[in-house]
Amino acid sequence: MATAGPGHLTPDRIREARKDVQRFLLHYEFGLREIGTKIEILRDEFLELHDYNPIEHVTSRVKSPESLLDKVARKGIGRDLDSIREAVTDIAGVRVTCSFTSDVYRLFNLLTQQDDIAVRSVKDYIANPKPNGYTSLHAVVEVPVFLSSGPVSVPVEVQFRTIAMDFWASLEHKIHYKYAGDVPERLTEELRSAADTAAALDSQMARLHREIHGDPAS
């Protein structure tokens, strides 16, 4: 009977590979829960102590195996799990939508100053918007997850943005998807203009809020 060569994918090897990927992604699911709990605690504390909620809503996701493999192929990353773990930092992602820009920076500082959080990278697209007008604050943080086999440090990408920034990003994504990335210049210019309008609205609403309520965290 012919035996399977070293590169042959037998049913047992396929099953084992699937289990490896499931275990790999489970770490990111646990990391997501840790960050989610921290954000919930901050939100509840603001509500109880300051009678103010700086967080409008929170969404989170772990990339599906298909989405992850697609990114690995596009970026030319090695398909082994160690290479993926090192190169792909947005497998687990949390998006925190805040009321005002000041809340974005306040929550970012409160989260990243916690003792068990390590900041891996920060991209401040609010201070330095992308050429297309995109604004948001991105941070890749590492949080420890304590498993039966010991602690594992898991990277989680956290995006902070205001309602206006989130609305703009959602529309831009739909337009980009519709035109498969080849967006007509006219629409690109209108998106840049809309981004300026959204930023101006954020500033105006923040001024009105301060005039009426003052600094909610003071």
CA distance 172 to 169: 5
Name the β-bridge partners of 156.
141
Of 163, 211, 216, 218, residue with least CA distance to 52: 216
CA distance 67 to 185: 29
Burial readout 116-145 (b: 16 or more C-beta within 10 A, e: otherwise): ebeeeeeebbbeebeeebbbbbbbbbbbeb
CA distance 186 to 196: 16
Question: Which positions are catalytic?
Answer: 157
Handedness of CA 87, 92, 96, 97 (dihedral sign): positive
Name the β-bridge partners of 159.
95, 138
CA distance 14 to 9: 6
CA distance 64 to 217: 38
